[in-house]
Amino acid sequence: MDKKIYLAPLQGFTDNVYRNAFHQIFKGVDKYFTPFIVFENDGSIRSGKMREVLPENNDMQNVVPQILVKDGDETNRMLDLLQELGHTTVNINLGCPFGPVVNRGRGSALLDNPDSIKDILKVATERKELAVSVKTRTGVADTNNFNSVIDIFNGHNLEEVIIHPRIATQQYNGEADFDYFTSIADKINAPLFYNGDISTKEMYANVIQKIPNIEGVMIGRGILMNPFLAEEIKGIQRTQEEKRQMVINLHNIILERYSLTMSGDAHIMAKMTAFWSYFSFMFPEQHKVFKAIKKCKRADKYMNMIHPMLLSYV
């Protein structure tokens, strides 16, 4: 049976505009995860984050909302809101390594705080109508606590466990520790997903060959750099002309959506620059392409520049 492929959540990149455009054009991704939503200090949720979980912006069948919470109380409030919106799944973030998140006891900070993980998972899994998954790193400064975290996972009814085997202090540096992942894979009762640094079908094949029992993989930057990656892994064949049209469509749908929903060239160009920071890897002259886009501040200039560039995709 085919392994599953999930698109990783990347704040600022895999927003609803990207997810919907991607899903309209490309095959191969089985589920999409929203970037995390989180409470502000005053208990509100920013409108940009709310947009990510609203039913009108999502195909609710294949989108899992991700939450960043610090305890059972926040979890309860988040889940009330998500269930009211009609969500039937939730993913809990135990991995975000960013300072402001960690300082407030959320994300990867929880990996040093097993009581809070227990509290959060208890509250979440008590809701029988909700499927609960976790996405986790393997520690804060080292992996010493991770076996006890696994015991907590195994004590709850989790739909899936997704592991990105980096410790938080690593941020995104160095490599994901695939050997560590293989050493703990058998200990996890829930269906298991590997995440981290897969950017080619050969790398995917290597992961699956070494740990054939995993349910699938989650891929982030590899798909942003090559939107065909999931199709290539699943053996979906495309002609060059088809591929060129898909690349152009992905770009155009995203541009159209941002142009309709955002006001002012600066905002639109900021979103398009973020998109191109990965998408430019599709083009032989990646650095030149990205440099030109970064410099461009006006949407009309951008339009003139972009079409020859898109057509240069071979």
Ligand X SMILES: Cc1cc2nc3c(=O)[nH]c(=O)nc-3n(C[C@H](O)[C@H](O)[C@H](O)COP(=O)(O)O)c2cc1C
Interface with ligand X (CB under 6 A)? 8-12, 35-36, 66, 93, 95-96, 135, 164, 172, 195-198, 219-222
CB of 65 to ligand X, least distance (A): 11
CB nearer ligand X, residue 194 or residue 310: 194
CB of 158 to ligand X, least distance (A): 15
CB nearer ligand X, residue 279 or residue 306: 279
CB nearer ligand X, residue 20 or residue 93: 93
CB of 31 to ligand X, least distance (A): 13
CB of 14 to ligand X, least distance (A): 8
CB nearer ligand X, residue 106 or residue 164: 164
CB of 136 to ligand X, least distance (A): 9
CB of 166 to ligand X, least distance (A): 8
CB of 217 to ligand X, least distance (A): 8
The answer for residues whose C-beta is within 8 angstroms of residue 303's C-beta and 6 or more apart is none
CB nearer ligand X, residue 160 or residue 197: 197
d(CA 253, CA 199): 24
d(CA 178, CA 242): 35
CB nearer ligand X, residue 14 or residue 116: 14
- Residues 11, 240 contacting (CB under 8 angstroms): no
SS3 per-residue string spanning the chain: CCCEEEECCCCCCCCHHHHHHHHHHCCCCCEEECCCECCCCCCCCCHHHHHHHCHHHCCCCCEECEECCCCHHHHHHHHHHHHHHCCCEEEEEECCCCHHHHHCCCHHHHHHCHHHHHHHHHHHHCCCCCEEEEEECCCCCCCCCHHHHHHHHHCCCCCEEEECCCCHHHCCCCCCCHHHHHHHHHHCCCCEEEECCCCCHHHHHHHHHHCCCCCEEEECHHHHHCCCHHHHHCCCCCCHHHHHHHHHHHHHHHHHHHHHHCCCHHHHHHHHHHHHHHHHHHCCCHHHHHHHHHHCCCHHHHHHHHHHHHHCCC
Report the residue closest to ligand X, judged by CB: 220
CB nearer ligand X, residue 190 or residue 219: 219
CB of 118 to ligand X, least distance (A): 20
CB nearer ligand X, residue 19 or residue 164: 164
